Amino acid sequence: MMRTRPLKVALLGCGVVGSEVARIMTTHADDLTARIGAPVELAGVAVRRPDRVREGIAPELVTTDATALVKRGDIDVVVEVIGGIEPARSLITTAIEHGASVVSANKALLAQDGAALHAVAEQHGKDLYYEAAVAGAIPLIRPLRESLAGDKINRVMGIVNGTTNFILDKMDSTGAGYQEALDEATALGYAEADPTADVEGFDAAAKAAILAGIAFHTRVRLDDVYREGMTEVTAADFASAKEMGCTIKLLAICERAEDGAFVTARVHPAMIPLSHPLASVRGAYNAVFVESDAAGQLMFYGPGAGGSPTASAVLGDLVAVCRNRIGGATGPGESAYAALPVSPMGDVVTRYHISLDVADKPGVLAQVATVFAEHGVSIDTVRQSGKDGEASLVVVTHRASDAALTGTVEALRKLDTVRGVASIMRVEGE
């Protein structure tokens, strides 16, 4: 039986994503009513600049007092799309304490304070949903914490930032340098005026923390994620990658140790074979590769950012939360029972591609190989080229720990025959 009293929704933020959420709520109102089992009504919109014209939103719904809006006793669901830590954290907490469930797209806040927010939601018997916080429109969080809840997830690896993938794809396909590709991304609206959060990996690291926490039933905070940006990736790196049959992507990688004793979470550029599904992800698209015991290998692919894709994920959460409200239930909350330790980057084992500038004379390769052997790092392949007394030496290792590789590189820098370390890049997906 259809419920006639509408479920009231408060919207915090009305930018690119918020305005799309409001538009879809209006244009798809009948469909949403049928899917939820009750009408949904936009009851208020909190903004910073109330004088701006917002098409399709009645002026009387607009307010600058977000706190008063979330304290209203008649609000069923608060949708938070303002981003940042504060005032979002206080507003979400206040909303839950005053009886509302929450849908959020705030990756930074959830990566930093997700455990505390989940605790408040559990204490008050309310929902906290955040599908839109990771990978835009791609259904990812709900499959991880619901569809795969009976499975054991061992690895989550993916491209979770569209801006960086566009830049790296452009460098790969055209031979452009980093700055040239960034300028094009900015001109097309893929990169912000200040792209630091994207290109230095902060955005991807927040998403990695959320994914690792859900996948491994362990609290993983942003500070637990190793982060390395992509600003030092060069056209020469792409040339080396092509010689290996690889390309370069900025990857978020969350892994469970083979013995199950710990987990790791990291973000960094990496070479991946062209045969790997992630290598074919082009432009500003996102894709996440999941490996589990029973399901095997799964890949989730689609637009990872933008107003409409992100709003799609928000509306999906809104429907789920509203259904729960009608049924008097709540969906899955935080699952951190495993409480596995998060190991530092030094314990991570992977392959490496190291490019060295060396003297072009006999015995150099033997010296370099000796250093690798002394640090327990096994060499897979070596490629040397040079003239006029200078040479380039490219070494690809077998799997080794980050700590062992770091010690190796420090020792290499002390050799008189090594002029410099041109680049170091991890090799993943094999």
* Catalytic annotation, residues: 207
**Collapsing DSSP states into helix, strand and coil, what is residue 215?**
helix
Q: Which has the closest alpha carbon to 340: 153, 116, 133?
A: 153
Count the neighbouring beta carbons within 10 Å of the beta carbon of residue 274. Answer: 13
DSSP calls for 224-250: GSEE--STT--HHHHHHHHHTTEEEEE
Q: In degrees to the nearest 10, what's the CA dihedral of 145, 147, 151, 156?
A: -60
Phi and psi (nearest 5°) for 190? -80, -30
Task: Report CA Rg, the chain.
Answer: 24
What does the alpha-carbon distance between residue 33 and residue 195 come to, in Å, rounded to a whole number?
A: 39
Q: What is the DSSP string of 274-299?
A: TTSGGGG--TTEEEEEEEETTTEEEE
Supply angle C-alpha 138, 142, 143, rounded to 5. Answer: 80
Instruction: Return the C-alpha torsion angle 285, 290, 295, 299, nearest 10.
Output: 10
For residues 213 and 207, the answer to whether their CB atoms sit within 8 Å is no
Q: Could you tell me where the DSSP H helices lie in 140-201?
A: 141-142, 162-174, 178-187, 196-199
Could you give the CA distance from residue 86 to residue 242 in angstroms, rounded to a whole number?
44
Beta bridge partners of 160: none
Q: What are the residues whose beta carbons fall under 8 Å from the beta carbon of 103, sequence distance 6 or more?
A: 77, 78, 79, 80, 129, 130, 132, 314, 317, 318, 321
